[in-house]
Amino acid sequence: MALIVLGVLLLGALVLVVQWQHRRRLEEALAQLLARDPRLFPTATPAGLSAQQLAASFAGCPRGDRRYGVRHGIEGPLAATVQGEPTELPCAAFEWWWEERRQNRDSNGNTTTSYTTRRTMATVTRLPAPVPDHVRIGPESVLGRLGLSRRDHQLESDTFNRRFRVVADDRLLTVKLLDARLQELLLSEYQGRTVELLGDLLVVSGDARQRDVTLTGRIGQLPAVRDDTARLVAGVPAQFWRALERRA
> Could you tell me the pLDDT band of residue 37, with boundaries at 50, 70 and 90?
very high
Contacts within 8 Å (CB) and 24+ apart, 77-86? 77/39, 78/125, 78/226, 78/229, 78/230, 79/230, 80/125, 80/229, 80/230, 80/233, 80/234, 81/230, 81/233, 81/234, 82/128, 82/233, 82/234, 82/236, 82/241, 83/238, 83/241, 83/242, 84/238
DSSP, collapsed to helix, strand or coil, labels residue 142 as helix
Structure-model confidence comparison of residues 109 and 63, the more confident one:
63
Whether 6 is covered by a domain: the verdict is no
Whether 206 is covered by a domain: the verdict is yes
Whether 30 is covered by a domain: the verdict is no
- The fraction of the chain above a pLDDT of 90, given in percent, is 69
Whether 14 is covered by a domain: the verdict is no
Report the distance separating Cα 128 and Cα 72, nearest Å. 26
Whether 181 is covered by a domain: the verdict is yes
pLDDT at 143: 45
Whether 60 is covered by a domain: the verdict is yes
Please state, in angstroms and as integers, the Cα–Cα distance from residue 62 to each residue in 65, 209, 217, following that order.
9, 21, 22
Lowest-confidence segment of 154-158, 214-218, 233-237 by average pLDDT? 154-158
Quick: pLDDT tens for 52-65. 999 999 999 999 99
Whether 27 is covered by a domain: the verdict is no
Quick: pLDDT tens for 14-36. 545 445 566 788 889 999 999 99
- Domain of residue 99 covers 39-247
Total domain count, the chain: 1
> Could you tell me the pLDDT band of residue 147, with boundaries at 50, 70 and 90?
very low
Quick: pLDDT tens for 114-129. 899 999 999 999 999 9
Quick: pLDDT tens for 239-248. 999 999 988 6
Whether 19 is covered by a domain: the verdict is no
pTM of the model: 0.86
pLDDT at 225 over 70: yes
